[in-house]
Amino acid sequence: MSIANAEELVALVRAYNPSSNSDLIRKAYAYGAEMHEGQFRHSGEPYFTHPAAVAGILAEQRLDDATIVTALLHDTIEDTKATFSDIDQKFGRDIAELVDGVTKLTNLQLSSTAAKQSENFRKLFIAISKDMRVILVKLADRLHNMRTIRAMRPDKQVQKSRETMDLYAPLAGRMGMQWMREELEDLAFRVLNPEGRNSIIRRFINLQKDSGDVIHKITGDIREELDKADITAEVFGRAKKPYSIWRKMQAKDQSFSRLSDTYGFRIVTKNEGDCYRALGEIHQRWRAVPGRFKDYISQPKSNGYRSIHTTVSGRDGKLVEVQIRTRQMHEVAESGVAAHWSYRDGIRVENPFAVDPAKWIATFTERLDNVGDHEEFLEHVKLEMYADQVFCFTPKGEVVKLPRGATPLDFAYGIHTRIGDRCVGAKIDGIRVPLWTRIRNGQSVEIITAEGQSPQATWMDIVATGRAKSAIRRRLREEDRERFIKLGRELARVAFEHLGRRATDKALSTAAKHQSLASTDELLARIGSAELVASDVAAQLYPEAVSVSDEIEVTTVVVGLDDGQTFERATCCQPVPGERIVGISYRGKGVVIHAIDCAGLAEFSDQANRWVDLHWQPGRHPAVHTVSLDLTISNDAGVLGRICTLIGEQKANISDLNFLDRKPDFYRLIVDADVRDVEHLHEIMLMLEADSDVATLTRYRDIKRKP
Q: What is the CATH number of the domain that holds 227?
A: 3.30.460.10
78 is catalytic: yes
| pLDDT of the residue at 388 | 56
Asked if the structure places residue 137 within a domain, the reply is yes
Range of the domain at 641: 549-707
Question: Do the beta carbons of residue 481 and residue 527 sit within 8 Å?
Answer: no
- Euclidean distance between CA atoms 380 and 7, whole angstroms: 45
* 277 and 163 fall within a common domain: no
Asked if the structure places residue 272 within a domain, the reply is yes
Predicted confidence (pLDDT) at residue 114 exceeds the cutoff of 90: no
* 228 and 106 fall within a common domain: no
- The average pLDDT across 45-68 equals 91
Element (DSSP H or E) covering residue 374: helix 374-386
Predicted confidence (pLDDT) at residue 258 exceeds the cutoff of 60: no
Per-residue confidence band for 345, with pLDDT thresholds at 50, 70 and 90: low
Q: Which of 163, 192, 221 is the last residue of a domain?
A: 192
* 237 and 106 fall within a common domain: no
Predicted confidence (pLDDT) at residue 548 exceeds the cutoff of 60: no
Considering 564-568, 601-605, 697-701, the range whose residues carry the highest mean pLDDT is: 697-701
* 153 and 64 fall within a common domain: yes
Model confidence over 410-419: pLDDT tens digits?
A: 999 988 889 9
* 106 and 230 fall within a common domain: no
For 146, residues 6+ apart whose C-beta sits below 8 A from its C-beta are 160, 161, 164, 183, 184, 187, 188
Q: How many domains does the chain have?
A: 3
* 698 and 621 fall within a common domain: yes
Asked if the structure places residue 677 within a domain, the reply is yes
- The average pLDDT across 94-108 equals 82
Per-residue confidence band for 512, with pLDDT thresholds at 50, 70 and 90: confident
- Euclidean distance between CA atoms 94 and 131, whole angstroms: 10
> Which residue in the list 8, 45, 78, 702 is annotated as catalytic?
78
Question: Do the beta carbons of residue 364 and residue 357 sit within 8 Å?
Answer: no
Model confidence over 272-290: pLDDT tens digits?
A: 999 999 999 999 998 888 7
CATH code of 558's domain: 3.30.70.260
* 244 and 155 fall within a common domain: no
Question: Do the beta carbons of residue 621 and residue 557 sit within 8 Å?
Answer: yes
Per-residue confidence band for 566, with pLDDT thresholds at 50, 70 and 90: confident
Asked if the structure places residue 577 within a domain, the reply is yes
| pLDDT of the residue at 144 | 94
Per-residue confidence band for 352, with pLDDT thresholds at 50, 70 and 90: low
- The average pLDDT across 456-478 equals 82
Predicted confidence (pLDDT) at residue 146 exceeds the cutoff of 90: yes
Q: Kindly state the DSSP code that residue 624 receives in the 8-state scheme.
A: -
Model confidence over 9-22: pLDDT tens digits?
A: 999 989 888 888 99
Residues of the chain with pLDDT > 70: what percent?
82
Model confidence over 26-38: pLDDT tens digits?
A: 999 999 999 999 9
* 254 and 178 fall within a common domain: no
- Euclidean distance between CA atoms 166 and 50, whole angstroms: 23
677 is catalytic: no
* 563 and 642 fall within a common domain: yes
Q: Which of 298, 320, 348 is the last residue of a domain?
A: 348
CATH code of 13's domain: 1.10.3210.10
Question: Per mean pLDDT, which range of 263-277, 380-394, 537-551, 622-636 is the poorest?
Answer: 380-394
- The average pLDDT across 462-474 equals 83
Model confidence over 180-227: pLDDT tens digits?
A: 888 999 999 999 888 888 887 777 777 666 656 778 888 898 999 999
Predicted confidence (pLDDT) at residue 533 exceeds the cutoff of 60: yes
* 126 and 64 fall within a common domain: yes
For 562, the 3-state DSSP assignment is coil
| pLDDT of the residue at 167 | 77
Asked if the structure places residue 639 within a domain, the reply is yes
Model confidence over 593-614: pLDDT tens digits?
A: 999 888 888 888 888 888 888 8
Q: Which of 323, 348, 373 is the last residue of a domain?
A: 348
- The average pLDDT across 362-375 equals 53
Predicted confidence (pLDDT) at residue 378 exceeds the cutoff of 70: no
Q: Counting beta carbons within 10 angstroms of the beta carbon of residue 146, is it exposed (0 to 12), middle (13 to 18) or buried (19 or more)?
A: buried
| pLDDT of the residue at 320 | 82
Instruction: Supply the pTM of this predicted model.
Output: 0.54
Asked if the structure places residue 703 within a domain, the reply is yes
* 114 and 233 fall within a common domain: no
How does the average pLDDT of the chain come out, rounded? 81
Asked if the structure places residue 94 within a domain, the reply is yes
> Which residue in the list 8, 65, 75, 79 is annotated as catalytic?
79
* 169 and 306 fall within a common domain: no
Residues of the chain with pLDDT > 90: what percent?
23
- Euclidean distance between CA atoms 110 and 122, whole angstroms: 11
Asked if the structure places residue 251 within a domain, the reply is yes
